[in-house]
């Protein structure tokens, strides 16, 4: 007879409040200190929990950071508006809003820089955060192709890069503004490239 993980769990159940505090502390420290400067004890102190609480959930800083980032990526809704144009506009709008109103830019810049020095982090983020997100994006393009709204010869990975690459470049390299108007212009160009 099958048993659930809950039946095997020993000790107190996890606290939703502690989980939220740990997540917020991790995001704050990633934005201000970067991955290299973030420590388990620093997260515990900022979250108001013991270091033991963190180690009951994760074996290492890498595991904690990747798990928290993956959970955040899973919460980002992939639109299904019924049209390629609607989906593209919503995706670019959400990216722009997040870039302008959150710590996303600082966290992204720090993680990209650290990945060049830390192949283990790069591999973990690629496997647990980026590949699942790209798979979700592929579903957007599969639906568009099935509706006859997208060319048959376009690679979904390249389409994803075309969609987010220009905004990411502005955010992390050129320093040019990431505005709704810029997102609208990029959307126009992407749609021209993808439509039959």
Residue indicated by tokens 């470049």 = 169
Residue 4, pLDDT > 60, answer: no
Closest to 166 (Cα-Cα) out of 118, 84, 96: 96
Q: Given this model, what pLDDT does residue 14 score?
A: 67
Q: What is the mean pLDDT of residues 106-126?
A: 90
What top-level class would CATH report for the domain 77-194? mainly alpha
- Please tell me the distance from the alpha carbon of residue 11 to that of residue 50, in angstroms, as a whole number: 16
31-to-53, 154, 172 alpha-carbon distances in Å = 22, 35, 14
Residue 6, pLDDT > 80, answer: no
Query: What is the per-residue pLDDT across 65-80, written as a single tens digit (0 to 9) for each?
Result: 999 999 887 777 789 9
Domain 14-70 annotated CATH 1.10.3720.10: no
Average pLDDT, the chain: 88
164-to-44, 62, 123, 169, 179 alpha-carbon distances in Å = 34, 26, 20, 9, 13
- Please tell me the distance from the alpha carbon of residue 160 to that of residue 166, in angstroms, as a whole number: 11
Query: What is the per-residue pLDDT across 102-112, written as a single tens digit (0 to 9) for each?
Result: 788 888 888 98
- Please tell me the distance from the alpha carbon of residue 24 to that of residue 46, in angstroms, as a whole number: 9
Q: Given this model, what pLDDT does residue 8 score?
A: 40
Residue 17, pLDDT > 70, answer: yes
Indicate the pLDDT class of residue 12, thresholds 50, 70 and 90. Answer: low
The two tokens of residue 28 are 């704050």
For the chain, which residues make up each domain, given as ranges? 14-70, 77-194
Residue 92, pLDDT > 90, answer: yes
């Amino acid at each position: 007879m099958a048993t659930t993980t809950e039946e095997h769990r020993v000790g107190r159940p996890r606290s939703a409040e502690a989980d939220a505090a740990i997540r917020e502390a991790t995001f704050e420290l990633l934005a201000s200190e970067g991955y290299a400067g973030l420590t388990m004890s620093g997260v515990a102190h900022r979250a108001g929990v013991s270091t033991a609480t963190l180690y009951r959930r994760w074996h290492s800083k890498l595991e904690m950071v990747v798990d928290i980032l993956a959970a955040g990526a899973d919460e980002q809704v992939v639109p299904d508006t019924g049209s390629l144009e609607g989906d593209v506009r919503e995706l670019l709008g959400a990216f722009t809003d997040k870039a302008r109103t959150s710590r996303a830019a600082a966290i992204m810049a720090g993680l990209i820089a650290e990945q060049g020095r830390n192949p283990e982090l790069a591999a973990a983020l690629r496997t647990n955060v980026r590949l699942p997100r790209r798979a979700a994006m592929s579903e957007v393009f599969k639906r568009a192709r099935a509706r006859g709204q997208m060319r048959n010869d376009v690679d979904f990975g390249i389409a994803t890069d075309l969609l987010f690459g220009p905004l990411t470049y502005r955010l992390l390299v050129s320093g040019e503004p990431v505005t709704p108007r810029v997102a609208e212009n990029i959307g126009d160009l992407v749609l021209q490239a993808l439509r039959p």
